[in-house]
Amino acid sequence: MTDFRLVYFSENRIQAGMLNTEIETLLEASRRNNALVVISGALMFNDGYFAQVLEGSQAAIESTFERIQRDHRHGNVHMLEFAPASTRSFQTWSMAFIGHPDRMSAEVSTIAARSGFDPRNLDGDHLFNRLKDLLHERE
Ligand SMILES: Cc1cc2nc3c(=O)[nH]c(=O)nc-3n(C[C@H](O)[C@H](O)[C@H](O)COP(=O)(O)O)c2cc1C
């Protein structure tokens, strides 16, 4: 069965003081759940926005994304792309994270700052490619 790829962005609703704990918690749940249904992907947090790519079977992505959309830790969820994808780009990550300066190495923080990342200005393909570039730059 062909894999699918879903790309969305959303607005953060987590209070500043709670960001580290909440993101840690949601990453733990994401990695556990995604591994079970063979979803891979990447999550980025920057400037009050989340952007995420999910890769996997159509059914696994649909049920996971329904749960994600109901999550009150973010809002205004905008789906940019949901389509068949011949290859996976984040195969080795149940959920890679590119994040807030507080939560990452100086190196990654520099990359995120340099990227001028603002998901509102990107379409699905651009957002997907940006996340891919950022992660591969980090490796
Ligand atoms: C920005 C964001 C991204 C998320 N990504 C995922 C994800 O990739 N996979 C997942 O299972 N849950 C994800 N979640 C968490 C879900 O909304 C939900 O809290 C979680 O799946 C519940 O898992 P549990 O019942 O095992 O605790 C995300 C939440 C947010 C706010």
For residue 76, what is the domain's CATH number? 3.30.70.100
Say what the pLDDT of residue 118 is.
Answer: 66
Give residue 103's pLDDT band: very low, low, confident or very high (50, 70, 90). low
Question: Residue 109 Cα, ligand 1 centroid: separation in angstroms?
Answer: 24
> pLDDT tens digits, residue range 39-83?
999 998 876 889 999 999 999 999 999 999 999 999 999 999 999
Name the residue among 25, 2, 3 with its Cα closest to residue 14: 25
Residues in contact with ligand 1 by the CB-under-6-Å rule are: 26, 29-30, 33-34, 43, 50, 52, 64, 67-68, 71, 73-74, 95
* Contact indicator for 49, 116 with CB cutoff of 8 Å: no
Structure-token pair, residue 80: 């940019």
**CA 109 – CA 14 distance, rounded (Å):** 20
Say what the pLDDT of residue 61 is.
Answer: 98
Question: Residue 61 Cα, ligand 1 centroid: separation in angstroms?
Answer: 12
Enclosing domain of residue 128: 3-138
What dihedral do alpha carbons 60, 62, 66, 71 form, nearest 10°? 60
How many Å from the N-terminal Cα to the C-terminal Cα in the chain?
A: 30
Residue with tokens 């923080």: 109
Number of other residues whose CB lies within 10 A of the CB of residue 69: 13
Length of the chain: 139
Number of other residues whose CB lies within 10 A of the CB of residue 14: 18
Q: Whose CA is nearest to atom 16 of ligand 1?
A: 68
**Count of structural domains within the chain:** 1
